[in-house]
Amino acid sequence: MTAPIKAGKRIGILTSGGDCAGLNAVIRAVVHRATGYGWQVLGIKEGTQGLLQRPVQYQTLDLGCVDGHMMRQGGTILGTTNRGDPFAYPMPDGTLKDRSDEIIGGYRELGLDALIGIGGDGSFAILHKLAQKGGFPMVGVPKTIDNDLGKTEVSVGYDTAVAVAVEALDRLQPTAASHHRVMVLEVMGRDAGHIALAAGIAGGADVILIPEIAYSIESIAAKIKDVRDSGRNFALVVVSEAVKTLEGTGVKKVLQGGEKRYGGIGDYIGEKIADATGAETRVTVLGHVQRGSMPSPRDRLIASAFGVHAVDLIAEGKFNRMVAWANRGVIDVPITEAIEHYSCVELDGALVKTARGLNISFGD
Ligand code: F6P
């Protein structure tokens, strides 16, 4: 963890925000490419938390660490956190303190020449601010199962999350049919319905509810009646966690320390469907299962391409960029543009059109 820092070009890498499948594949690719340039790679522990601690928490990453297993491994070997904005860091006495100088000090202590941050929009906003303040070069690699980062068609982790949700629908379908039930599956996607939409289409849902499209229970009930009238005895409903109640409120759970996270809209919708249709209804909340799995082949591929390109950007001296996927390949964009452009489901996009073409109801 605290091996002596050797002289020479040295880059740091950290994972930040909620984990997802494919993070280790990015780290592996970065180590391979950087080693090819003859650079040293230091993996910073627990996101920016590692730079806050003294001694700074890191591990040296070389080809010896990136074995055949690493690309297949879920989570992040470096650890991560989605808490503790260093510009407003929660202190034990309840106050908020600007600890950004300590993080910048940690970066300097490691003698880094550049930093690769693997994160989502929130993490990039913080890392970019730190890089600007500390005057250090930074490159971002997009990851989030929610796939809501602007300026990239896809982020690491999304494909695996969709695959997990589709597998859940595949497993729910036979039990739904056996018991003549309506099965409601609640999936993640903080404020964007990408996972619900893709999984719903690929998993044969009858109804997909996403936060981008307002629904009514009457419309959902009418769809379930149509399904019954067609002679089918079950229905599958996918609901994104960020869908609001009919009164317009998000359904959230209060966690330790008062933090809130989405969770529970599936039960709400399930109850409403049961009341409106008389159907026996069951609810499954998929939760963090969507983040924890072995990465899909596509996530491994995208992660590998992103990792290589991120190192190449540093080699070219191109900083404050985020690597991105577009038109079958890897490009890079100003990281500020990615932070500014939130990507929710486009109502006139191909997937909404596809779902409507398949007679899937959005409850609208
Ligand atoms: O942003 C990724 C995500 O997995 C969301 O889909 C979900 O709402 C949230 O993170 C869960 O966060 P936590 O890991 O803090 O429970």
Residue nearest to atom 10 of ligand 1 (CA): 18
Give me ligand 1 centre to Cα 190, in Å.
7
The pLDDT, as a whole number, for residue 134 is 97
Question: Span 10-156+295-326: which CATH code?
Answer: 3.40.50.450
Strand order in the sheet with 10-15: 58-61, 40-44, 10-15, 114-119, 138-142, 321-326, 329-334
Residue with tokens 């340039």, as numbered in its chain: 37
Ligand 1 pocket check for 181: Cβ under 6 Å: no
Give me ligand 1 centre to Cα 37, in Å.
36
- Which contiguous run of DSSP H or E holds residue 222? helix 217-229
Q: How far apart are CA 28 and CA 19, in angstroms?
A: 16
Domain edges within the chain: 10-156+295-326, 159-290+347-358
The pLDDT, as a whole number, for residue 66 is 87
Ligand 1 pocket check for 192: Cβ under 6 Å: no
The pLDDT, as a whole number, for residue 8 is 63
| SS3 sequence of 84-129 | CCHHHEECCCCCEECCHHHHHHHHHHCCCCEEEEEECHHHHHHHHH
Q: Catalytic residues, which ones?
A: 146
Q: Do domains 10-156+295-326 and 159-290+347-358 have the same CATH topology?
A: yes
Ligand 1 nearest-atom number relative to CA 83? 15
Ligand 1 pocket check for 194: Cβ under 6 Å: no
Give me ligand 1 centre to Cα 18, in Å.
6
| 136 in Cβ contact with 111 (< 8 Å) | no
Mention the CATH class of domain 159-290+347-358.
alpha beta
For residue 141, give the nearest of 340, 338, 345, 341 by alpha carbon. Answer: 338
Radius of gyration, CA atoms only, the chain: 22
Q: How far apart are CA 207 and CA 87, in angstroms?
A: 42
Question: For every one of its 364 residues, what pLDDT tens digit does the chain have, with 9 covering 90 and above?
Answer: 334 444 469 999 999 999 999 999 999 999 999 999 999 999 999 999 999 999 999 999 999 988 889 999 999 999 999 888 999 999 999 999 999 999 999 999 999 999 999 999 999 999 999 999 999 999 999 999 999 999 999 999 999 999 999 999 999 999 999 999 999 999 999 999 999 999 999 999 999 999 999 999 999 999 999 999 999 999 999 999 999 999 999 999 999 888 899 999 999 999 999 999 999 999 999 999 999 989 999 999 999 999 999 999 999 999 999 999 999 999 999 999 999 999 999 999 999 999 999 999 999 9
| 48 in Cβ contact with 58 (< 8 Å) | no
The pLDDT, as a whole number, for residue 139 is 98
Which residues are annotated as part of the binding site for Mg(2+)?
121
Which residues are annotated as part of the binding site for ATP?
18, 83-84, 120-123
For residue 24, give the nearest of 62, 80, 78 by alpha carbon. Answer: 78
* 200, HSE (Cβ side, Cα atoms, 13 Å): 33
The pLDDT, as a whole number, for residue 1 is 39
Ligand 1 pocket check for 190: Cβ under 6 Å: yes
Kindly list the distances between the CA atom of residue 362 and the CA atoms of 70, 191, 210, 267, 350, in Å, as whole numbers in the listed order.
39, 16, 8, 18, 15
Give me ligand 1 centre to Cα 39, in Å.
34
- Which contiguous run of DSSP H or E holds residue 198? helix 194-202
For residue 187, give the nearest of 175, 204, 172, 200 by alpha carbon. Answer: 200
* Three-point CA angle 107, 317, 113, nearest 5°: 20
Residue nearest to atom 9 of ligand 1 (CA): 190
